[in-house]
């Protein structure tokens, strides 16, 4: 399967609301991953990484992945991806999207339930139903804030708040080693090609072998990486990270 890296990198805007930390001290490590690997999405061949990352964020915010009944509420990634493209005027094709626009949709329209617009790749251009819109209206975020630095990322994670982030993907990301271990290296730009941009969900940080990594949830299924997660060097921030956001 050919993966698409269609995240549109978003530059800072003076109108952005910026993240303000509450934490006074930071722990050495944070890990917000749930125990159920079945929750890992697989975006398939669509460039819907923004919707996959944002629906994962919404699920985490929604009672930490579970309802009192023990049942999961899955959000429709295709509904969100359709709305992103509709906002950007590209609804007719697999264009990718900006994280900012996905967050705007989550605030203004909301997130529909998966059952109202299931993730069937061939239907990604279908107009959402009235039922999907009605469900979405009950699942909105209040606000979203931009994170600018590694320190702010760690502060948000230490407060129990996952962070959606856009990263540049180089060819080594598709290596067998990364697929097996989930450990990503800093790219060698002299030898590696830039494949595009990708949206993921940061869910923690830790030190491995003396290097500080961000624990990231991917959307390539639970059989890839470390049960669907990978470890991104903290040094990516400021070099290969386009934008980072928290929501409430």
CATH number at residue 168: 3.90.70.10
The rounded distance, in Å, linking the Cα atoms of 12 and 150 is: 16
> Is residue 158 included in any domain, yes or no?
yes
Report if pTM > 0.85. yes
Distances (CA, A) of 171 to 186, 190, 211: 11, 12, 21
pLDDT at 242: 96
Q: Is residue 22 part of a domain?
A: no
Using 50 as the pLDDT threshold, list the residues of the chain that sit under it.
64-68
Q: Which two tokens stand for residue 195?
A: 């494949």
Residue 42 token pair: 């697989």
Domain for residue 10, yes or no?
no
Max CA distance (Å), the chain: 53
Q: Point out which residues pair with 202 in neighbouring strands.
A: 216
Total number of domains in the chain:
1
Beta-bridge partners for 18: 146
Angle at CA of residue 121, ends 79 and 232, nearest 5°: 80
The reported pLDDT for the residue numbered 23 is 67
- 174 assigned to some structural domain: yes
| Spatial CB neighbours of 27, under 8 Å, sequence gap ≥ 6 | 158
Residue 3 within a domain: no
According to DSSP, residue 236 is labeled G
Is the residue at 19 inside a domain? no
Tell which residue, 57, 52, 59, has the closest CA to residue 80.
Answer: 52
Q: What is the pLDDT of residue 65?
A: 47
Residues spanned by the domain of 39? 30-247
Residue 242 lies in a domain: yes
Distance CA 218, CA 216 (A): 6
Q: Is residue 60 part of a domain?
A: yes
């Amino acid at each position: 399967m050919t993966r698409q890296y269609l995240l549109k990198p978003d530059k800072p805007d003076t109108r952005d609301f910026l993240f303000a930390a509450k934490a006074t001290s930071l722990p050495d490590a944070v890990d917000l991953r749930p125990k159920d690997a079945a929750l890992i999405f697989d975006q398939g061949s669509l460039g819907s990484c923004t919707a996959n990352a944002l629906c994962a964020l919404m699920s985490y915010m929604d009672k930490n992945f579970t309802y009192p009944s023990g049942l999961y509420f899955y959000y429709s990634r295709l509904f969100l991806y359709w709305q992103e493209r509709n906002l950007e005027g590209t609804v007719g094709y697999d264009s990718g999207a900006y994280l900012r626009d996905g967050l705007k949709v989550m605030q203004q329209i909301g997130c529909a339930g998966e059952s109202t617009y299931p993730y069937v790749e061939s239907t990604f251009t279908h107009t959402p139903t009235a039922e999907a819109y009605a469900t979405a209206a009950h699942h909105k975020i209040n606000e979203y804030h931009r994170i600018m630095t590694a320190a702010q990322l760690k502060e948000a994670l230490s407060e129990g708040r996952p962070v959606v982030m856009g990263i540049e993907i180089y060819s080594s990301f598709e290596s067998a080693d990364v697929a097996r271990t989930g450990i990503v290296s800093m790219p060698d730009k002299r030898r590696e090609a830039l494949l595009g941009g990708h949206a993921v969900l940061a869910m923690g940080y830790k030190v491995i072998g003396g290097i500080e990594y961000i624990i990231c949830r991917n959307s390539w299924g639970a059989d890839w990486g470390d049960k669907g997660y990978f470890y991104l060097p903290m040094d990516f921030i400021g070099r290969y990270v386009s934008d980072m956001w928290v929501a409430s």
